[in-house]
Amino acid sequence: MAVESQIALFRREFASLRRFAERALAQVSDDDFFVVLGPSDNSLAVMVKHLAGNLRSRWRAFLTTDGEKPDRDRDGEFEVTEGEARAALMEAWEEGWGHLAAALDPLTDEDLVRSVTIRGEAFTVLQAIQRQISHYAFHVGQIVFLAKHFAGTNWKSLTIPKGASKSFNAAPQSYLEPETS
């Protein structure tokens, strides 16, 4: 069996995180997308806006400029203003993921030892990518949790459904979704 490159594995992991988030978000109404459960909580809209901002900042000119771009308004990512629509936030989300893909596409495993900066701190490309995977996984988990809360009994599992482990183990291929980029 051929060994997959590390960059290819990272691409696949980012794609998986994105798919989980998008499949969860698809189960939430436009109204629930903006609901804040408590005074110190974030809505799904805020999490989408924050991740979009982070993706845009971290991955534009990834190898040549600091990952915290001067035009980023991180604090503003945690506020959804009146009139901001779900469609516009999802467009920013799409744009952010596009920056990630454009940054990863030319990389090879040899680039993993190169140096990049985030907020003036030096990281290897490997460290920076792993840092972002952890960050995105944290927020995708929040998105899934909230989406499941809002979907209630209409929730469609994103993984092996509760009580379906035996049938999954008997035919795991039938549960797999085709890979998309």
pLDDT exceeds 80 at position 116? yes
pLDDT by residue (tens digit) across 5-19? 999 999 999 999 999
Angle subtended at Cα 120 by Cα 11 and Cα 44, rounded to the nearest 5 degrees = 50
Angle subtended at Cα 166 by Cα 163 and Cα 172, rounded to the nearest 5 degrees = 110
pTM: 0.90
What one-character-per-residue DSSP string does 16-77 give? Answer: HHHHHHHHHHTTS-HHHHT--SSTT---HHHHHHHHHHHHHHHHTTTTTS-SS-TT--TGGG
pLDDT exceeds 80 at position 1? no
The rounded distance, in Å, linking the Cα atoms of 181 and 179 is 7
What average pLDDT score do residues 110-133 get?
98
pLDDT of residue 179: 55
What average pLDDT score do residues 58-83 get?
96
Per CATH, domain 6-175 is 1.20.120.450:
yes
pLDDT by residue (tens digit) across 82-93? 899 999 999 999
What one-character-per-residue DSSP string does 61-100 give? Answer: TTTTS-SS-TT--TGGGG---TT--HHHHHHHHHHHHHHH
The rounded distance, in Å, linking the Cα atoms of 103 and 98 is 9
